[in-house]
């Protein structure tokens, strides 16, 4: 009797091992819901703890079509967040094959492509529209129906996407009907099942709201700049007097860069600002209009102005701020050509802007700025195409210390969003169109934000005397604010001194034949930077040396590199960071 029992125990054990093995093989990677305070700003620094839903497992993809490399998911109380990483740059809202499918009822027998995808939402990014499936019916929808938010607005190899968790695309039918969402991203329209896919489970852990940004200056002496597209002269319309009066009264800017003042001159604009926010004899509002649409209004005297490039909407204004800050100030009011059809014009305008400012730093040009004169660019830049245009403004326009200009990164005061333009009746989802750039060697950025009154709490609106709907009614652009401490004109601060470690994204990316990236270290340390292929194999060492504190640049020649995705990792005793680059042949 012992022998049969022994064999029976062994047989049962083997069966259990077999069942366990099969179960492990059929079980997907653990689903880890992750509630995170994601900010839709196109920066991606807050995604490190997000759930990985999909990642490529080999380098055998065809380079003839777009491919998804990775897909991450996260959520807060209001949004589902997705991060899509690609093997090449695209414009998310123009001319691409990406289609997003969401199975939101955890039932793949319902919705689009039942028993395979079973999606309740089908969203085509390149067409900026989608279909909502409910039962046997389907409804065409636009971004406002799902509260879609995306970043960046320029081309990129990665995008972050937010979709409203309480969205009701049709009637009162909710988009999300389960705590489990199956996510598919189709990236090759010629092949019906070229999907990156994964499952995400909403994390019920509440995410604290962002700390409200106070609207006041940090210091009463800080210089306040306001960039504001007034949307077809609406600032002059009596119907919107209350909205503009409340907005400008609480912001109290020193200098305003208005765009889209088509039908009023400089003097009329200065008088309108005086009527909205009276100077009360403390100063006088000055204004200049050199191009078709831009008016710069200043509480400081205007010394001179120049239109940059005939036919453009770019005016440089030399402002006399010496009494308050011991130096003059150059502000360039910018409204670059709009939209995809304006791409070539924007390149020409950015080249003219670059030449104008760089030449103003040298003797013999149209004007010569005193060394250390602060330079600020403010306005509606319409950067909706190549990321190279944004990079050119930041790197080709030189500061007094030889580095590039700094960019103001301004979140909305009570929302983790950076978009500055929103029109819910447009075909385009909200985007980052308005910017402020500045010479960081002589200006220190203080308080800064984008004002969307509709996202402020009842208490904050009451505190500042604002009313729900103020910014929505005033313009389709949001007021963009930046305060600066001005360095006296006795010297130029070394902007290259740094307070923290940083590894920059390479540019251009994708690239051929060469690219470069920057890194910063706050103290003398050993720095190792290594280039890896997509399988994690070391390709080459880019740097292995002790470096003193400062900012550095590394160049990469793709001559010996095959097409594909690569990663470069910077390591010190106190820092580790990896970024991705793409070589295209």
Domain locations in the chain?
51-201, 223-486, 502-583
C-alpha 20/C-alpha 13 separation (Å) is 11
Q: Where do we find the tokens 């497992």?
A: 57
Q: Is the peptide bond before 439 cis (omega within 30 degrees of 0)?
A: no
- Angle separating helix axes 387-396 and 343-360, nearest 10 degrees: 0
Per the CB < 8 A criterion, the answer to whether 262 and 229 are in contact is: no
Per the CB < 8 A criterion, the answer to whether 119 and 135 are in contact is: no
Q: Is the pTM of this model over 0.75?
A: yes
Q: How far is CA 450 from CA 70, 212, 408, 414, in A?
A: 31, 12, 10, 10
Q: Is the peptide bond before 96 cis (omega within 30 degrees of 0)?
A: no
Q: How far is CA 520 from CA 498, 501, 516, 557, 575, in A?
A: 7, 5, 14, 21, 11
Q: Are strands 223-229 and 255-259 parallel, antiparallel or unpaired?
A: parallel
Tokens of 267: 């003097």
288: exposed, middle or buried (Cβ count in 10 Å: 0-12, 13-18, 19+): buried
Tokens of 195: 């999907």
- DSSP helix/strand/coil, 208: coil
What pLDDT score was predicted for residue 482?
98
C-alpha 229/C-alpha 260 separation (Å) is 6
- DSSP helix/strand/coil, 462: helix
Give me the residues paired with residue 226 across strands: 256, 481
Sequence-ordered list of residues with C-beta below 8 angstroms from that of 453, at least 6 positions apart, any chain: 247, 461, 466, 467, 468, 469, 470, 471, 472
- DSSP helix/strand/coil, 314: strand
Give me the residues paired with residue 156 across strands: 90
- DSSP helix/strand/coil, 412: strand
Rg (CA), the chain: 27
What pLDDT score was predicted for residue 83?
97
Of the candidates 477, 34, 27, the residue with the CA atom closest to the CA atom of residue 256? 477
CATH homologous superfamily of 223-486 = Endonuclease/exonuclease/phosphatase (3.60.10.10)
Q: Which fold has domain 51-201?
A: Immunoglobulin-like (2.60.40)
| Same fold flag, 51-201 and 502-583 | yes
Residue 299 CA, chain-centre distance (Å), reads 31
Give me the residues paired with residue 543 across strands: 529
Cα angle at 327 between 323 and 333, to 5 degrees? 105
Question: What string of pLDDT tens digits covers the 585 residues of the chain?
Answer: 444 544 444 444 444 433 333 333 333 445 677 999 999 999 999 999 999 999 986 555 566 788 999 999 999 999 999 999 999 999 999 999 999 999 999 999 999 999 899 999 999 999 999 999 998 899 999 999 999 999 999 999 999 999 999 999 999 999 999 999 999 999 876 666 678 999 999 999 999 999 999 999 999 999 999 999 999 999 999 999 999 999 999 999 999 999 999 999 999 999 999 999 999 888 999 999 999 999 999 999 999 999 999 999 999 999 999 999 999 999 999 999 999 899 999 999 999 999 999 999 887 767 889 999 999 999 999 999 999 999 999 999 999 999 999 999 999 999 999 999 999 999 999 999 999 999 999 999 999 999 999 999 999 999 999 999 999 999 999 999 999 999 876 566 665 566 788 888 877 777 788 888 888 899 999 999 999 988 888 999 999 999 988 888 888 888 788 888 888 999 999 898 888 888 887
Of the candidates 404, 567, 574, 579, the residue with the CA atom closest to the CA atom of residue 500? 574
Of the candidates 317, 350, 100, the residue with the CA atom closest to the CA atom of residue 225? 317
- Enumerate the H helices of 456-542 as residue ranges: 458-464, 470-474
CATH number of 502-583: 2.60.40.2550
- Enumerate the H helices of 197-315 as residue ranges: 241-251, 266-276
Per the CB < 8 A criterion, the answer to whether 260 and 335 are in contact is: yes
What pLDDT score was predicted for residue 477?
98
What pLDDT score was predicted for residue 578?
86
What pLDDT score was predicted for residue 17?
36
Per the CB < 8 A criterion, the answer to whether 380 and 478 are in contact is: no
């Amino acid at each position: 009797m012992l022998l049969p029992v022994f064999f029976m125990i062994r047989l049962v054990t083997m069966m259990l091992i077999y069942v366990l093995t099969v179960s492990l093989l059929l079980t997907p990677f653990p689903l880890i819901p992750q509630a995170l305070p994601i900010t839709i700003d196109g920066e991606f620094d807050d995604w490190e703890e997000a759930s990985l839903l999909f990642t490529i497992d080999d380098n055998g993809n065809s380079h003839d079509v777009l491919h998804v490399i990775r897909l991450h998911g996260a959520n807060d109380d209001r949004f589902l967040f997705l991060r899509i990483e690609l093997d090449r740059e695209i414009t998310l809202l123009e001319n691409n094959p990406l289609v997003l499918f969401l199975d939101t009822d955890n039932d793949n027998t319902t919705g689009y492509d039942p028993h395979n995808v079973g999606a309740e939402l089908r969203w085509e990014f390149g067409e900026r529209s989608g279909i909502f499936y409910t039962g046997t019916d389907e409804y065409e929808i636009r971004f406002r129906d799902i509260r879609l938010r995306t970043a960046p607005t320029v081309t990129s190899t990665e995008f972050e996407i937010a979709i409203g968790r309480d969205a009701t695309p049709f009637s009162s039918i909710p988009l999300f009907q389960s705590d489990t969402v199956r996510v598919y991203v189709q990236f090759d329209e010629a092949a019906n099942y070229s999907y990156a896919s994964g499952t995400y489970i909403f994390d019920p852990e509440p995410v604290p709201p962002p700390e409200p940004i106070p609207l006041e200056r940090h210091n009463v002496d800080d210089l306040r700049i306001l960039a504001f597209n007034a949307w077809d002269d609406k600032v002059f319309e009596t119907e919107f007097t209350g909205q503009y009066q409340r907005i400008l009264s609480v912001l109290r800017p020193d200098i305003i860069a208005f765009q889209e003042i088509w039908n009023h001159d400089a003097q009329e604009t200065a008088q309108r600002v005086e009527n909205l926010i009276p100077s009360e004899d403390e100063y006088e509002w000055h204004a200049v209009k050199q191009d078709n649409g831009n008016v710069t209004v200043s509480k400081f005297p205007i010394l001179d102005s120049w239109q940059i490039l005939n036919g453009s909407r770019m005016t440089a204004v030399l402002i006399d701020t010496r009494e308050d800050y011991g130096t003059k100030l150059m502000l360039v009011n910018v409204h670059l050509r709009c939209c995809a059809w304006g791409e070539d014009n924007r390149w020409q305008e950015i080249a003219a802007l670059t030449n104008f400012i760089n030449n103003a730093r040298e003797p013999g040009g149209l004007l010569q700025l005193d060394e250390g004169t602060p330079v600020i660019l403010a306005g509606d830049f319409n950067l909706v195409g190549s990321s190279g245009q944004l990079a050119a403004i930041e790197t080709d326009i030189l500061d007094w210390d030889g580095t590039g200009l700094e960019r103001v990164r301004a979140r909305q005061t009570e929302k983790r969003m950076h978009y500055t333009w929103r029109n819910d009746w447009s075909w385009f989802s909200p985007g980052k169109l308005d910017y402020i750039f500045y010479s960081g060697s002589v200006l220190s950025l203080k308080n800064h934000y984008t004002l969307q009154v509709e996202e402020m709490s009842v208490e904050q609106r009451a505190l500042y005397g604002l009313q729900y709907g103020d910014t929505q009614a005033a313009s389709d652009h949001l007021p963009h604010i930046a305060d600066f401490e001005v360095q006296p004109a006795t010297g130029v601060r070394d902007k290259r001194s740094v307070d923290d470690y940083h590894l920059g994204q390479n540019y251009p990316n994708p690239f051929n034949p060469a690219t470069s990236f920057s890194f910063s270290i706050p103290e003398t340390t050993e720095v190792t930077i290594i280039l890896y292929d997509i399988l994690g194999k070391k390709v080459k060492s880019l740097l292995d040396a002790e470096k003193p504190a400062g900012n550095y640049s590394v160049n990469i020649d793709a001559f010996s590199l095959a097409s594909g995705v690569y990663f470069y990792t910077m390591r010190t005793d106190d820092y580790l960071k990896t970024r991705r680059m793409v070589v295209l042949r």
